[in-house]
């Protein structure tokens, strides 16, 4: 019928399937809805409105800027600045840190004081940013 190796493989797969069933049964006893802790684990699972707001914000921040959309560098949080083309989390962090330490930039020329931003970066950011609105 089955060879010795085939029987071992079937036994192994049966144990894995049984373990999965036990794990599902244990998790089913939880009071939180499925996936509640995935979006924001520090928010209770029954706070659906807060979870939904976090999801909407995460989706918006994950999308690139639309044509005509601008980011106010004198007020925007780091995750909003990170949406700018060519700006990653490290540069966004430096922009916010410089703004917090030295005050608002007020213009594209004021942004030049941030370490790591040169003339080429200023030119590429100019269509996407505003200051102090």
User: Is the model more confident about 105 or about 132?
Assistant: 105
pLDDT of 77 reads 92
pLDDT tens per residue, range 53-90:
878 878 877 788 888 899 999 999 998 999 998 898 89
Would you kindly state where each structural domain of the chain is located, as residue ranges?
1-30, 33-63, 69-130
The residue among 130 and 60 whose pLDDT is bigger is: 130
Closest CA to 84 of 105, 66, 68, 65: 65
Architecture of domain 69-130: Orthogonal Bundle (1.10)
pTM of the model: 0.58
CB count in 10 Å sphere of residue 63: 9
Nearest residue to 96 via CA among 125, 123, 73, 119: 73
């Amino acid at each position: 019928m089955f060879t010795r190796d085939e029987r071992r493989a079937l036994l192994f797969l049966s144990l894995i399937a049984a373990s999965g069933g036990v794990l599902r049964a244990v998790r089913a006893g939880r009071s939180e809805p499925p996936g509640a802790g995935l979006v924001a684990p520090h928010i209770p699972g029954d706070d659906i409105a807060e979870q939904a707001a976090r999801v909407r914000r995460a989706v918006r921040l994950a999308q690139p800027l639309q044509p005509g959309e601008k980011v106010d560098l004198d007020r925007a949080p780091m995750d909003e600045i990170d949406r700018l083309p060519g700006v990653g989390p490290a540069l966004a962090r430096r922009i916010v840190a410089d703004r917090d330490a030295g005050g608002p930039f007020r213009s594209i020329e004021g942004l030049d004081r941030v370490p790591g931003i040169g003339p080429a970066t200023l030119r590429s950011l100019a269509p996407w940013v505003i200051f102090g609105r």
